[in-house]
């Protein structure tokens, strides 16, 4: 009886040992976890990051007092659209700034520029172009983006996303810049890239802009990201968007 019990015990120990070994081997050979299959409908939905309230927006027009009214209007645009653009990009888990400063200066080359929690605006520009409040949406997008530097960071895409939020989300009814298939390319930045992104969003994946934004945030962007999202490379996609006309016949 004792012997029988002992052999059962040994058998049990050996079995457990093999089981444990099997588990260890399995842990070693397990391929990296594949992400859960994406909901097939998700490509038809624009994904929004969690909502935030507006950071405090301050205005300083002491250098350009005649810009006061425009500055006050720009403040409202930033208060309303910063949270909106925040939701349109992949900001989940990111902490928004506490304050955004709008500074109006009488001398500045660029109509507006953004950085360090501040948007600096050319006074003469807003006097000549009072309708250009949309440029505030482009600039506040840069404050939302705040991408880290990394080798191969595509400046054209950074500007393209900022113009996408402006021209395709803030003022989609404004007439479009015409794309010239012979001259333009996706790397042209600004409105050309924005129009390309809008085309891809509509044709392939409504979430393409936030997806690209995420890769710029975590420094994993390469042009191959377009292949991962759409199954096609950038040149093929651009040719779908802006096909070159056949060469003119000579006869
Ligand atoms: Zn810009």
Lowest mean pLDDT among 7-21, 58-72, 150-164, 233-247: 7-21
Q: How far is the CA of 202 from the centre of ligand 1 (A)?
A: 23
Cα radius of gyration (the chain): 27
Mean pLDDT of 81-104: 98
What's the confidence (pLDDT) of residue 32?
57
Delimit the domains of the chain by residue range. 42-146, 148-246
What's the confidence (pLDDT) of residue 13?
46
What's the confidence (pLDDT) of residue 2?
44
Q: How far is the CA of 120 from the centre of ligand 1 (A)?
A: 12
Q: How far is the CA of 131 from the centre of ligand 1 (A)?
A: 18
- Would residue 152 be called left, alpha or beta, if left means φ above 0 and alpha means ψ between -120 and 50 degrees? left
**With 50 as the cut, is the pLDDT of residue 4 above it?**
no
**With 50 as the cut, is the pLDDT of residue 75 above it?**
yes
**With 80 as the cut, is the pLDDT of residue 166 above it?**
yes
**With 90 as the cut, is the pLDDT of residue 184 above it?**
yes
Mean pLDDT of 213-236: 98
pTM for the complete prediction? 0.84
What's the confidence (pLDDT) of residue 87?
98
**CA–CA distance, 237 with 40 (Å, rounded to integer):** 21
Mean pLDDT of 192-216: 98
Q: Which CATH number is associated with domain 42-146?
A: 3.40.390
Q: How far is the CA of 159 from the centre of ligand 1 (A)?
A: 5
Q: How far is the CA of 158 from the centre of ligand 1 (A)?
A: 7
**Average pLDDT, rounded, for the chain:** 89
Q: How far is the CA of 9 from the centre of ligand 1 (A)?
A: 73
Lowest mean pLDDT among 27-31, 165-169, 208-212: 27-31
Strand duo 118-122 + 112-115: pairing: antiparallel
Mean pLDDT of 134-147: 98
């Amino acid at each position: 009886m004792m012997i029988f019990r002992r052999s059962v015990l040994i058998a049990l120990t050996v079995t457990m040992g093999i089981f444990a070994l099997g588990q260890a081997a399995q842990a070693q050979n397990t391929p990296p976890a594949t992400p859960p299959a994406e909901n097939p409908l998700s490509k038809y939905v624009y994904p929004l990051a969690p909502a935030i309230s507006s950071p405090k927006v301050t205005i300083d027009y002491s250098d350009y007092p005649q810009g006061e009214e425009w500055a006050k209007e720009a403040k409202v645009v930033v208060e309303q659209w910063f949270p909106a653009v925040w939701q349109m990009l992949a900001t989940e888990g990111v902490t928004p700034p506490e304050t955004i400063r709008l500074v109006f200066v009488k001398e500045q080359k660029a109509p507006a520029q953004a950085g360090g929690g501040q948007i600096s605006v050319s006074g003469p520009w807003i006097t000549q172009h009072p309708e250009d409040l949309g440029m505030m949406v482009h600039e506040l997008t840069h404050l939302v983006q705040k991408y880290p530097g990394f080798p191969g960071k595509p400046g054209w895409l950074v500007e393209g996303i900022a113009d996408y939020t402006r021209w395709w989300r803030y003022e989609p009814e404004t007439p479009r810049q015409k794309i010239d298939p012979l001259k333009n390319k996706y790397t042209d930045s600004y409105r050309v890239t924005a129009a390309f992104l809008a085309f891809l969003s509509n044709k392939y994946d409504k979430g393409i802009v936030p997806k690209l934004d995420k890769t710029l945030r975590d420094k994993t962007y390469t042009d191959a990201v377009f292949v991962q999202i759409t199954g096609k490379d950038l040149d093929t996609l651009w040719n779908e968007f802006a096909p070159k006309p056949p060469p003119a016949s000579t006869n």
